[in-house]
Amino acid sequence: MLAHAIFFYTFSFIAIVSAIMVTVSKNTVHSVFFLILDFISISCLFIMIGAEFLGMIMLIIYVGAVAVLFLFVVMMLNVAQQKNQWFSAEKSSKHIPIGIIVSLLIFFELIIVIGGWKYKPDLVSAMSLTIDKDITNTHSIGYVLYTDYIHVFQLSGMILLVAMIGAIVLTFRQRPGVKRQSYFSQISRERSDGVELIDVESNKGVKSDE
């Protein structure tokens, strides 16, 4: 129990410090690295409390995909230079008030959620339910997700689909003078359209310099 408590407080301290450094660090790349460290610490906490599925999901999805994507975007877009231009230019001061307003809204929402939280009777009764040790956490999460919350799960999938389509539409550009492939015309291409046989008379063909 002592070792478990030591590891718990260690990972918790690392997670809190990393989360603070994500917002405090001036270098954007360093912020992404602190974010990765925060995700790893939280996944370790999930594994310690017995939720190994959530811990591995944190490592695979957030650390292996989302954080790495953030890192590539930050390194390719040169965010540091853009940030300096935003804060140094005279016309870019509007970004700071908008950021402060959004931060205050998120802060007040968290206060409302935490302050207005009340334990419902069904949650209290759920704590006294017997847990089947033969069923793994992954099986239990899948059972709850695809039975009680199947509509919410499908709705979240539709939202992600709409977001993906919106990203494709926003990044799609029609540029003139660019050669593009037509997959339909390539697949439906016949031999007569691509090959032309010409009967060339003698001494009237293409002459090559020797």
Short-list 99, 96, 76, 98, CA closest to 88: 96
Q: What is the pLDDT of residue 208?
A: 63
Neighbouring residues of 90: CB distance < 8 A, sequence distance ≥ 6: none
Short-list 98, 102, 40, 100, CA closest to 67: 40
C-alpha separations of 179 from 62, 175, 184, 188, 195 in Å: 37, 10, 15, 19, 22
pLDDT in tens, 28-44: 778 888 888 998 999 98
| CATH number of the CATH domain containing 33 | 1.20.120.1200
Q: Is the pTM of this model over 0.75?
A: no
3-state secondary structure 117-150: CCCCHHHHHHHCCCCCCCCCHHHHHHHHHCCCCH
Q: Tell whether 141 and 66 lie within a shared domain.
A: no
Q: Tell whether 142 and 73 lie within a shared domain.
A: no
Domain boundary among 41, 61, 80: 80
Q: Tell whether 1 and 76 lie within a shared domain.
A: yes
**What's the rounded Cα separation, in Å, for the pair 55 and 94?**
39
Cβ density class 112-123: b for 16+ within 10 Å, e for less: eeeeeeeeeeee
Domain boundary among 39, 62, 80: 80
Residue 49 has pLDDT above 70, yes or no: yes
Q: Which amino acid is at 165?
A: I
Residue 128 lies in a domain: no
Residue 58 lies in a domain: yes
Residue 103 lies in a domain: no
Q: Tell whether 74 and 138 lie within a shared domain.
A: no
pLDDT in tens, 107-164: 888 787 776 655 555 554 555 556 667 777 788 888 888 888 889 889 988 998 998 8
Look at 9-23, 88-102, 122-136, 138-152 and tell me which has the smallest mean pLDDT: 122-136
Range of the domain at 143: 134-171
Residue 140 lies in a domain: yes
**What's the rounded Cα separation, in Å, for the pair 208 and 28?**
61
Output the six-digit token pair for 171: 């990044």
Averaged pLDDT of the chain: 77
Q: What is the pLDDT of residue 125?
A: 55
Provide the number of structural domains found in the chain.
2
Confidence of residue 195 (pLDDT cuts 50, 70, 90): confident
Q: What is the pLDDT of residue 6?
A: 87
Domain boundary among 40, 58, 80: 80
CA angle 157, 160, 163 (to 5 degrees): 155
